[in-house]
């Protein structure tokens, strides 16, 4: 699998890393693949509504709460640009509030 991932990254694709899916810590991942990356997309807030960083408005994920900060710090030290992905309208946390719910044109939630 790592050979396939390395080939994809070398082709210029932007990798999206989700802390709930990746099975390694930021140090190990970036130690192995960092030399190939110029930019990476990192999920900062998942569909659950929990964040992987310190937030003033959303709850922090208990398991992966420091992942985003660690990953960004290491990436910055390596010169890798990090783009954040934030699920904002489909997550469980915000969908509890009627102001943030997504409703289709036919009224379905």
**Whole-angstrom distance, CA of residue 100 vs CA of residue 90:** 9
Confidence (pLDDT) at 1: 45
Residues of the chain scoring pLDDT < 50:
1
| Residue 47 CB partners (closer than 8 Å, separation 6+) | 87, 90, 91, 92
Other C-beta atoms lying within 10 Å of the C-beta of residue 46: 21
Residue 51 in tokens: 């964040």
Confidence (pLDDT) at 61: 85
Confidence (pLDDT) at 76: 96
With vertex at residue 55, the alpha carbon angle to CA 54 and CA 61, rounded to the nearest 5 degrees, is: 65
Going along the chain from its start, the domains and CATH numbers come out as 2-95 (3.30.750)
CA distances, 4 to each of 1, 11, 37, 97 (Å) = 5, 11, 15, 42
8 Å CB contact between 40 and 17: yes
Confidence (pLDDT) at 95: 60
Q: For the purposes of burial, counting CB atoms within 10 Å of the CB of 58, is it exposed (0-12), middle (13-18) or buried (19 or more)?
A: middle
Confidence (pLDDT) at 73: 95
Confidence (pLDDT) at 54: 82
């Amino acid at each position: 699998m790592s050979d396939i991932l390395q080939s994809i990254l070398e082709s210029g694709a932007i990798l999206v890393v989700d802390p709930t899916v990746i099975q390694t810590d930021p140090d190990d991942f970036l130690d192995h693949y960092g030399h190939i990356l110029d930019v990476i997309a990192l999920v900062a807030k998942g569909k659950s509504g929990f964040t992987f960083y310190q937030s003033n408005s959303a709850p922090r994920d208990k398991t992966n709460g420091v992942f985003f900060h660690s990953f960004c710090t290491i990436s910055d030290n390596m010169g890798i640009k990090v783009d954040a992905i934030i699920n904002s309208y489909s997550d469980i946390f915000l969908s509890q509030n009627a102001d943030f719910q997504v409703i289709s044109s036919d009224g379905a939630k």
